Amino acid sequence: MTSDLFSLAGKIILVTGASRGLGRAMAAAMADAGAHVMLNGRDLAALAAASKAISDSGGSVETAAFDVTDEGAVKAAIAGIVARHGRLDVLVGNAGIQHRRPLLDFATPDWQRVIDTNLTACFVLAREAARPMIERRQGRIILTASMMGPAIARPTVAAYVAAKGGLVALTKALAVELAPIRVNVVAPGVVRTPLWVAMSDADRQAMYDQAAQQLPLGRIGEVADIARAYLYCMEQEFGTGIVLTVDGGTVLV
């Protein structure tokens, strides 16, 4: 377990997109700090494996399999969490997808799918999580954006850039409206995660190498680097509407 200087003992936390990659790493870090974490995803086998890994390490965990783009499923899942545990302390909206196409070839349904998963789902999750939090006048909502959108852009990912930029704006709006609930957003840079699985091994490694050469820190991020940023958002008391960029200095250069 981590030091008692930082403890999430007894906290009830829902992490979406937690079956692999960044979501799995942050959920494990939260469990290690004493929280009871609920892992969301659609891949039952991956969820089971992630849950077992956390449980085997001594963490308190359960799974919550639902599609974040299904509004009815989101409502039912959060209501079920509150019914079982009496509250929801933290929502981490992390589920996301990527779709790469040049603008002129980018089909509208693909645009909508990315927006629905990366932006609209976070709006619905935050709205439903806020209901029990407002009653208790406490809670935290942490969303996952990107350095792309609020800070920089790249070709062929227009929907992703738009969605992640929208998450930053949504975070600021919710922080103002929901206080004293803290609402913050983490904006990772290039991180070694399964989000890039659609790329070939050679293309993915070339992207990693090129990014590392351009970064002041000389390497791309690992999921553990980003997980620590979410722990910070839970620990601090006087910050809301924060955009916490964790990108190895990408936006500086």
Q: Where are the domains of the chain?
A: 12-193+222-237
Q: Which pLDDT value is given to residue 200?
A: 63
Q: At what angle do helices 121-136 and 71-85 cross, to 10 degrees?
A: 30
Print burial letters for 82-121: b (CB count within 10 Å at least 16), e (below 16).
beeeeebbbbbbbbbbbbbeeeeebeeeebeebbbbbbbb
Angle at 90 between CA 226 and CA 131, to 5 degrees: 140
| Structure tokens given for 154 | 């790249």
What is the phi/psi pair of residue 159, to 5°? -65, -40
Residue 233 binned pLDDT confidence (cut-offs 50, 70, 90): very high
Q: Which pLDDT value is given to residue 48?
A: 97
- Decide: pTM greater than 0.75: yes
Query: Which candidate in 160, 208, 230, 232 is catalytic?
Result: 160
Q: CA 46, 86, 93, 17: dihedral to nearest 10 degrees?
A: 0
Round the average pLDDT of the chain to a whole number and report it: 91
Angle at 242 between CA 87 and CA 29, to 5 degrees: 55
In 3D space, the residue among 157, 82, 79, 91 whose CA is nearest the CA of residue 121 turns out to be 91
- Contact in structure between 73 and 44 (CB atoms under 8 Å): no
> Domain 12-193+222-237 is of which CATH architecture?
3-Layer(aba) Sandwich (3.40)
208 assigned to active site? no
- Per-residue pLDDT of 194-218, as tens digits, reads 554 455 667 667 777 777 777 788 7
Integer Cα distance of 107 and 110 in angstroms: 5
- Per-residue pLDDT of 116-172, as tens digits, reads 999 999 999 999 999 999 999 999 999 999 998 888 899 999 999 999 999 999 999
- Contact in structure between 80 and 3 (CB atoms under 8 Å): no
